[in-house]
Structure 1
Amino acid sequence: MSDKSVPARPTIDLRSLTPARVALGRSGASVPTKPLLDFTLDHARARDAVHAAFDASRLAADLRALGLAVTEASSQAIDRRDYLRRPDLGRQLDAGSAELLARSASEPCQLAIVIGDGLSAAAVHAHAAALVGCLLPLLAEGDVAIGHLVVASGARVALGDEIGAILGARMVVMLIGERPGLSAPDSLGAYLTFAPKPGRSDAERNCVSNIHKAGLSYDEAAFKIAWLVREGLAREVTGVALKDESADRAPRRIGTTQPE
């Protein structure tokens, strides 16, 4: 028997709890005009984000303003059309970029950060530099030095594996624009891989996703990424073997034991 003393919550309350399209109402057999127009607008924004041009030079300038040395690189995808039709080309460096990175790899390093356009250049333009700015002091606290910072055009996640291998990085963090959704066309993701090399699988990576204005904040994302970097370097593993326990455990310094 139902408890009639508990008032039923109107369905429209769900709108305050989720960006999903719920409780839209109806007009005859269809939805009202405003929800339909909102959907059309969000769909257009998502499509625009996928096809938007990547301003790698502007991003590199923003990162240099943080006092960082930046190298620009490109995948084998010639243009955006090529990138979308041939995902495999976005996972491989072009010959000139591979040669440039090889010349800059004077000695192995702990960490390389790669920033790629992915499927939303808008996300990278909006969030990447600010996120790196929040990440720097957290890495410094754990004595983790960024050996190289690379801005990569036409990039898929796996491009970071080849870049990290060429640079001799123990770990690579790939910041990349995620596939746009109807509620978030500018979501940034971070993918962490220990001992990067071509052929690594997604099971060997950790991911911190949904970094955007209505999602994970820069401070929250930077904390998670820094924790995973330090734990990954200390345990020499990432992926399914490294659970994100950043909410429960303090990060350790590299070379020290984990506090109880």
Structure 2
Amino acid sequence: MSAADSSAAQPNPMDPWSELRSTTQSRIGLGRAGDALPTRRVLEFRVAHAAARDAVHLPLDVAAFTSAVGDVGLGKPSVVRSLAADRGQYLRRPDLGRAPADLDAIRRAGADVGFVLADGLSPRALMDHGAPLLAAIVAELPGHYTLAPPVVATQARVALGDHIGAALGVTTLVMLIGERPGLSVADSVGIYLTHRPQPARTDADRNCISNVHPPDGLGYVQAARVVAGLVSGARRLGRSGVDLKDTSRAAAIGTAEALEL
């Protein structure tokens, strides 16, 4: 962080919004110059908007990313793409991003857990966080689970994971995907968990963990612990989605309270 950034982050006693602004990435208390925003705030908005656009259109470096994912130790990743031929078509036709062009690269694993790492709406987020987040999840999962080799998916929407999970034959699918960039975060990863994935699944059949982008968002270990808890819960319940709740935070609060007694 530069000296200018550091000083900007400190609360200003002359600005009643400054203390609250230092705790959030939200655009609050922007002020005004006449009947418009101050020039500084307008320029900040344009920079954030440009970063969001760049995050959407930046292509995933598939070779470099599959190499990084391979280093996690789950085996050589397969690569699958959706029916969307290019980024423009992917953005105009969300339906094409939900179906695979082909699944010939997939080898049926029949494992307990499978992983899909998808570019989604922010390939930048996947490149920044995908491999270390996957490593954190693997480290948190119990050792007796069998894990399928990972799959990298391009021009992908969330539902593409259902096709991949069914082809892999896994019991539970964990999908890491670049989330839609906003004006405060352009590199956030979402995690979607689906028990017994198949193409007929809906969003009600999935669990989502969003806003993974340390240091400002959810950290890798925190997210991985939630995933491990949801995988365990889905296996006990026999399904995922609206019937499966994340109890990791309640458990953490209970442990903290017990330590205080």
TM-score per shorter chain, which class? 0.7 to 0.9
Corresponding residue to 1:94 among 101, 104, 119: 101
CA separation in 2, counterparts of 1:62 and 1:100?
Answer: 19
What whole-Å deviation, never above 9, does each CA across 1:29-66 have from its counterpart, x for those lacking one?
11111111001100010011111111122111001122
Aligned match of 2:12: none
CA separation in 2, counterparts of 1:63 and 1:100?
Answer: 16
Aligned match of 1:72: 79
**1:68 shift after superposition:** 2.3
CA separation in 2, counterparts of 1:28 and 1:225?
Answer: 49
Aligned match of 2:32: 26
CA separation in 2, counterparts of 1:64 and 1:227?
Answer: 25
The 5 A counterparts of 1:125-164 are 125-141=127-143, 143-164=144-165
Corresponding residue to 1:227 among 203, 208, 229: 229
**1:13 shift after superposition:** 2.3
Aligned residue type for 1:100: A
Tell me if 1:36 matches 2:39: no
Aligned match of 2:9: none
What whole-Å deviation, never above 9, does each CA across 1:63-97 have from its counterpart, x for those lacking one?
112222111111111111111111111111113xx
Superposition RMSD in Å: 1.4
Aligned residue type for 2:36: S
Aligned residue type for 1:218: Y
Is the Cα contact below 8 Å between 1:144 and 1:230 reproduced in 2? Answer: no
Aligned residue type for 1:12: S
What whole-Å deviation, never above 9, does each CA across 1:177-235 have from its counterpart, x for those lacking one?
00000010000000000110112111110000000021101111111111111211222
**1:246 shift after superposition:** 1.1
Percent identity over paired residues: 45
Aligned match of 1:196: 197
Gapped regions of structure 2 (runs ≥ 5): 1-14, 253-261
SS at match of 1:63: helix
Aligned residue type for 2:187: D
The 5 A counterparts of 1:86-125 are 86-95=93-102, 98-101=103-106, 104-105=107-108, 107-125=109-127
Aligned match of 1:179: 180
The 5 A counterparts of 1:201-216 are 201-213=202-214, 214-216=216-218
Aligned residue type for 2:153: A
SS at match of 1:148: coil
Tell me if 1:57 matches 2:63: yes
Is the Cα contact below 8 Å between 1:116 and 1:151 reproduced in 2? Answer: yes
Tell me if 1:83 matches 2:85: no
**1:140 shift after superposition:** 3.3
TM-score, normalising length: structure 1: 0.87
Aligned match of 1:5: none
CA separation in 2, counterparts of 1:23 and 1:138?
Answer: 40
CA separation in 2, counterparts of 1:67 and 1:193?
Answer: 23
Aligned residue type for 1:86: R
CA separation in 2, counterparts of 1:47 and 1:78?
Answer: 19
SS at match of 1:240: coil
SS at match of 1:118: coil
